[in-house]
A and B are shown apart, each in its own frame.
Chain A
Amino acid sequence: AQKITQTQPGMFVQEKEAVTLDCTYDTSDQSYGLFWYKQPSSGEMIFLIYQGSYDEQNATEGRYSLNFQKARKSANLVISASQLGDSAMYFCAMSPGSDSWGKLQFGAGTQVVVTP
């Protein structure tokens, strides 16, 4: 069975600082996808970044980068130069790479508060 663990329930970060959100996963699949989503207080789910298990390079999308360490089964999200608008809940998610590629399993989330 797959499992996603986010051990940080909440974090404070100062504006313009970088922040790393931890995510570890457990799966026996060889092929899988790892995702990060942002959920502001308004409730919508916003896709941020994706890493495939066979991708050798870490994914980057603007100020977001994914620190993928396959041997350690970790997929940490790094947000550089934090902005007040980054305050939100952040979810790590995984999908299996086989027939049910689409089913996402989410972690419990990390609440990030960016302070001036």
Chain B
Amino acid sequence: EPEVTQTPSHQVTQMGQEVILRCVPISNHLYFYWYRQILGQKVEFLVSFYNNEISEKSEIFDDQFSVERPDGSNFTLKIRSTKLEDSAMYFCASSEAHQPQHFGDGTRLSIL
């Protein structure tokens, strides 16, 4: 069964550094998403992406965040200057139109 893959599984970064989280969505999916889950808290929507542009973003997704689909298979989330409060599990998801989203296994981001 096709799946969403995320790399790395765990990323440790110094505060203030840039980090790029990578995702390979399911190949025939057209809608892509990023969510985050701070330890012990609920899953929060960050951004949705369709047709090479952001469809919607939350208030969490400020100027420090950006997304990109650099080629036909990858979908990345970049955090420009990380803060301690960016420590969380980041999930990528993808879907077909009006279909449930399928999530990757997540990247655990730890900011030191």
**Minimum CB–CB distance for A4 against chain B, Å:** 9
Interchain CB contact under 8 A, A91 and B42:
yes
CB of A68 within 8 Å of the partner chain: no
Residues of B in contact (CB 8 Å), total: 25
Query: Assuming the A-B contacts A45-B91, A91-B43, A108-B42, are A102 and B105 also in contact, with contact meaning beta carbons closer than 8 angstroms in the complex?
Result: no
Which of chain A's residues have a CB closer than 8 A to the CB of B35?
A: 104
CB of B72 within 8 Å of the partner chain: no
A72-116 vs B, Cβ < 8 Å mask (1 yes, 0 no): 000000000000000000010100000011111111110000000
A52–B95 alpha-carbon span in the complex (Å): 16
Task: Out of A43, A50, A91, name the residue touching B106 (CB < 8 Å).
Answer: A43
A100–B56 alpha-carbon span in the complex (Å): 7
**What does DSSP make chain A's interface, helix, strand, loop or mixed?**
loop
**What does DSSP make chain B's interface, helix, strand, loop or mixed?**
strand
Nearest-CB residue, chain B, relative to A100: B56
Task: Give chain B's interface residues, CB within 8 Å of chain A.
Answer: 31, 33, 35, 42-45, 48, 50, 55-56, 89, 91, 93, 95, 97-98, 100-106, 108
**Minimum CB–CB distance for B77 against chain A, Å:** 16
Interchain CB contact under 8 A, A103 and B45:
yes
Nearest-CB residue, chain B, relative to A106: B43
Known A43-B105, A45-B103, A102-B50; 5 more pairs at CB < 8 Å? A45-B43, A45-B93, A100-B48, A101-B97, A103-B48
Nearest-CB residue, chain B, relative to A4: B42
Which of chain B's residues have a CB closer than 8 A to the CB of A100?
A: 48, 55-56
Which of chain A's residues have a CB closer than 8 A to the CB of B105?
A: 42-44
A38-54 vs B, Cβ < 8 Å mask (1 yes, 0 no): 00001111110010000
A47–B1 alpha-carbon span in the complex (Å): 13
Nearest-CB residue, chain B, relative to A101: B98
Interchain CB contact under 8 A, B103 and A109:
no
Task: Out of B50, B89, B101, B106, name the residue touching A104 (CB < 8 Å).
Answer: B101
